[in-house]
Amino acid sequence: MAKQDFYATLGVARDASADDLKKAYRKLAMKYHPDRNPGDTAAEAKFKELNEAYDILKDDQKRAAYDRFGHAAFEGGGPGAGGFGGFEGGLGDIFDQMFGDMMGGGRRGGRQRTGADVRAQVEISLPEAFSGTKISLKVPSRIACEACDGTGSQDKTRSADTCPTCHGAGKVRAQQGFFLVERACPTCSGTGKIVRNPCKVCRGAGTVQRERNLSVDIPAGIEDGTRLRVPGQGEAGGQGVPNGDLYVHVGVRPHEIFHRDGATVVCRMPLSMTRAALGGEVEVPVVDGSRATITVSPGTQTGDQQRLRGKGFSVLRSAARGDMYVQFAVETPRKLSRRQRELLEEFEREGGGETNAAHPETEGFFGKVRDFFEGRG
């Protein structure tokens, strides 16, 4: 029988915070605790499931492994095959893939270490998403220490000894219950080296915490929720290690006139009752800031629409544009002057009532109503 998703077990969303996880676990654990349900095997099984789920999700590293690999990350025969019995080919590879950058430790197979990645969230307007824009970011991150030129050494040399704790690997392993957990070496902070004459400013790390001002180009046509990667603009690795990357998550604010669906733009346009009946030319706004003139057909109804080719949204990394649709919404006046009322009453007497053939939907509706009552009779 397949295991239930751990998030579903706790009844939380996948992006739930640590506090939300704790609250959900405590509430359910209290409900299904064996002391409160003596002799209830189902409650006991549920309690065990809750403990297993919370034990994984409360730990950031285990949670990250679960988010990527699911239950297979903690079972034999998971990714890499070998499970716990063969750590080098199983869970060890998972940790290498996921936490090599985060811990600053070396990677297997000769892959180079890098500084940690940095993530930022920005929000732009729909016109900015259409034309593209440049944003300024203040990013708190670690940068190369200026005092030692990023070497970590007081005399600005790269001379360092192999760490005696991790023997240069940058990582150490520790047994926690039935888990073998890999962490950054506490002696060398994951560098694998010990600086002989550490810099007094960065204390041998080669990096210091600073806030940087960055300028990031947002391309035209970007969609809400897009993630941009800016190589080399993450945290400094220190001691000759390449920088990490900057990931910018872009949100696009809703617009008061236009609704976007990919490269298609929809504009809902109100029409007066008389304009819809008589037709004529009207001017509509376009997302690029221009205007377009369209012809409204006589007898236009709510929900009718017109297509303007090539007037939609810009397509990412392309000169093409989508189409724009103008959707009409016919408005009935709420207040009438005496003269307006007289004219509408005259219109009604001249055949503008419910049975007029000029109102096919109205006539069809009342025909169905008549048939309905006759059928019941």
The answer on 267 and 299 residing in a single domain is yes
The answer on 142 and 80 residing in a single domain is no
pLDDT of amino acid 297 = 94
**Number of separate domains in the chain:** 3
Whether residue 83 is predicted with pLDDT greater than 80 in this model: the reply is no
pLDDT-derived band at 180 (thresholds 50, 70, 90) equals low
CA 208 distance to own-chain centroid: 30
φ, ψ of residue 327 in degrees (nearest 5): -100, 130
Whether residue 299 is predicted with pLDDT greater than 60 in this model: the reply is yes
Give the count of alpha carbons within 13 A of 136, CB side only.
3
What is the CATH number for 80?
Answer: 1.10.287.110
Question: Which residue intervals of the chain are DSSP H helices?
Answer: 6-10, 18-32, 41-57, 60-69, 91-103, 126-131, 273-278, 338-349, 360-376
The answer on 327 and 272 residing in a single domain is yes
| Domain end call among 110, 135, 166 | 110
The answer on 127 and 163 residing in a single domain is yes
Q: Is residue 122 part of a domain?
A: yes
Q: Is residue 267 part of a domain?
A: yes
The answer on 237 and 290 residing in a single domain is no
Counts for the chain of helices (H) and strands (E), in that order: 9, 15
The answer on 245 and 365 residing in a single domain is no
The answer on 92 and 22 residing in a single domain is yes
DSSP state of 147: T
What is the CATH number for 222?
Answer: 2.10.230.10
Of 59, 57, 78, the closest CA to residue 69 belongs to: 78
What pLDDT digit, counting tens, does each position of 21-77 carry? Answer: 999 998 998 898 888 888 888 888 898 899 989 988 988 878 887 777 777 767 643
Q: pTM for this structure?
A: 0.54
pLDDT of amino acid 205 = 73
The answer on 361 and 269 residing in a single domain is yes
List the domain range (segments joined by +) for residue 90: 6-110
What pLDDT digit, counting tens, does each position of 311-357 carry? Answer: 999 999 889 999 999 999 999 998 999 999 999 899 888 875 554 55
The answer on 80 and 24 residing in a single domain is yes
pLDDT of amino acid 185 = 82
| Domain end call among 110, 144, 174 | 110
Neighbours of 348 (CB within 10 A): 12
Q: Is residue 41 part of a domain?
A: yes
Is 185 annotated as a binding-site member? Answer: yes
**Average pLDDT along the chain:** 80
Neighbours of 51 (CB within 10 A): 14
Is 267 annotated as a binding-site member? Answer: no
Residue with tokens 């888990």: 179
DSSP state of 317: T
pLDDT of amino acid 302 = 93
Q: Is residue 172 part of a domain?
A: yes
Q: Is residue 174 part of a domain?
A: yes
Q: Is residue 371 part of a domain?
A: yes
Q: Is residue 1 part of a domain?
A: no
| Domain end call among 203, 225, 252 | 252
**Per-residue b/e over 295-319, b at no fewer than 16 CB within 10 Å?**
ebeeebeeebebebeebbbbebeee
pLDDT-derived band at 238 (thresholds 50, 70, 90) equals low
What is the CATH number for 342?
Answer: 2.60.260.20
The answer on 134 and 39 residing in a single domain is no
Q: Are 104 and 152 in contact (CB under 8 A)?
A: no
The answer on 300 and 282 residing in a single domain is yes
Residue with tokens 């390449």: 242
User: How far is CA 247 from each of CA 120, 126, 216, 239, rounded to the nearest angstrom?
Assistant: 6, 21, 10, 23
The answer on 128 and 244 residing in a single domain is yes
Of 261, 229, 259, 265, the closest CA to residue 245 belongs to: 229
